[in-house]
Amino acid sequence: MAEMMLKASRMLSALLFVSSLLPWVHGEPQVPCYFIFGDSLFDNGNNNLLLNLGKVNYLPYGIDFPRGPTGRFSNGRNIGDAIAELLGFQGYIPSLNQAIVANNVLKGVNYASGGAGIRNETGRQEGDLVPMDEQLKNHRTIVSRITRMMGSKDSALKYLNKCIYTVDMGNNDYINNYFVPQFYSTSRQYNVEQFAAALIQQYSEQLKSLYDAGARKVAVMGLARGGCLPLSLATFGTNGSPCVEMINNAEQIFNNKLLSLINNLNANLSDARFTFINLFQIDGESAQGFNITDVGCCKVTSSGLCIPLSSPCSNRTDQQYAYWDSVHPTEARALIIGRRAYVAEEPTDAVPFDIRRLAQL
């Protein structure tokens, strides 16, 4: 009973905090710009122009978003939107195409692409996407544009040093690569320990490349609980467990190595302030506050995305559904996850510091 009351209290405080995100935070942003790298948890429309089955610029996606369907894998806002709001940005961080068309790059760019991973082949069974290496290439192009606007490389780097960067990569390398052997051979090439090591080695080079482009304040998301996704439950079964433990256990091997990598980067790169966001923990605990966790709010296709123009559940903004489709959180839960990344509720939510503290450094 005491544990249930604690969870209820925590959920109530979370929802009250989330309600404070509306309207937008007023005043100056805490940092001059915010750059977002990632997958479908953060994608805000970068897949829309690609030949890809994994794009969601159709209803019922965006049914609770002011602009309607934008390419966000949500009924409303996503985790990146929540973090941007809490950092004090007016309006949304633009997708790459929006930023280029509007010549609006100084407040940041969202490069995230649904299905993308650390490995370049990850998620390709769905079609075109933008993996981490390509997102970094796009960022270097934007940095060159900022350099021209600032007048010098030194001025641009000083500006970029002050920005916040979030990176959410690796989820698809498991659920859209390693654990889909019908499309990829990685599970035959590597055991779970070897695969995590290979991913971390490649990720290390990618994060160093981001550092070389001027990033100093970088929040790196650990993997969420891929074994608890409704899609995973339907695909693999659980043998009586709440989640597919072989997926969660493999992802935790990666997360442990990622935390070690973050510590190594901070120790060896001058002025680096990388931090680890424990999405595995935050994801699991945030879901506990919702009543339905094994299916999503909308009717889905075999790939786990909402059927176009289908009618979703009506109680999307309360504590009923943890998942919007079979893979992604509802807006209500995405805002809670973003808040805990910004302000840690527990010491292990963010190591060595949360995003609010990162912005202050």
For 248-260, what is the mean pLDDT? 98
Binned at pLDDT 50, 70 and 90, residue 25 comes out as: very low
> ω into residue 60 within 30 of 0, thus cis?
yes
Q: pTM for the complete prediction?
A: 0.93
For 226-244, what is the mean pLDDT? 96
Q: Which value, to the nearest 10 degrees, does the dihedral of the CA atoms of residues 198, 255, 295, 325 take?
A: -70
Binned at pLDDT 50, 70 and 90, residue 10 comes out as: low
Please report the pLDDT score of residue 24 as a whole number: 44
Residues 106 and 33: beta-carbon distance below 8 Å: yes
| Amino acid found at 158 | K
- Residues with a known catalytic role: 40, 325, 328
Binned at pLDDT 50, 70 and 90, residue 3 comes out as: very low
Q: Percent of the chain scored above 70 by pLDDT?
A: 93
User: What distance in Å separates the CA atoms of residue 218 and residue 124, rounded to the nearest whole number?
Assistant: 27
Burial of 163 (0-12, 13-18, 19+ CB in 10 A): buried
Binned at pLDDT 50, 70 and 90, residue 296 comes out as: very high
User: What distance in Å separates the CA atoms of residue 14 and residue 83, rounded to the nearest whole number?
Assistant: 14
Please report the pLDDT score of residue 317 as a whole number: 85
User: What distance in Å separates the CA atoms of residue 203 and residue 216, rounded to the nearest whole number?
Assistant: 16
Q: How many residues does the chain have?
A: 361
pLDDT in tens, 170-200: 999 999 999 999 999 999 999 999 999 999 9
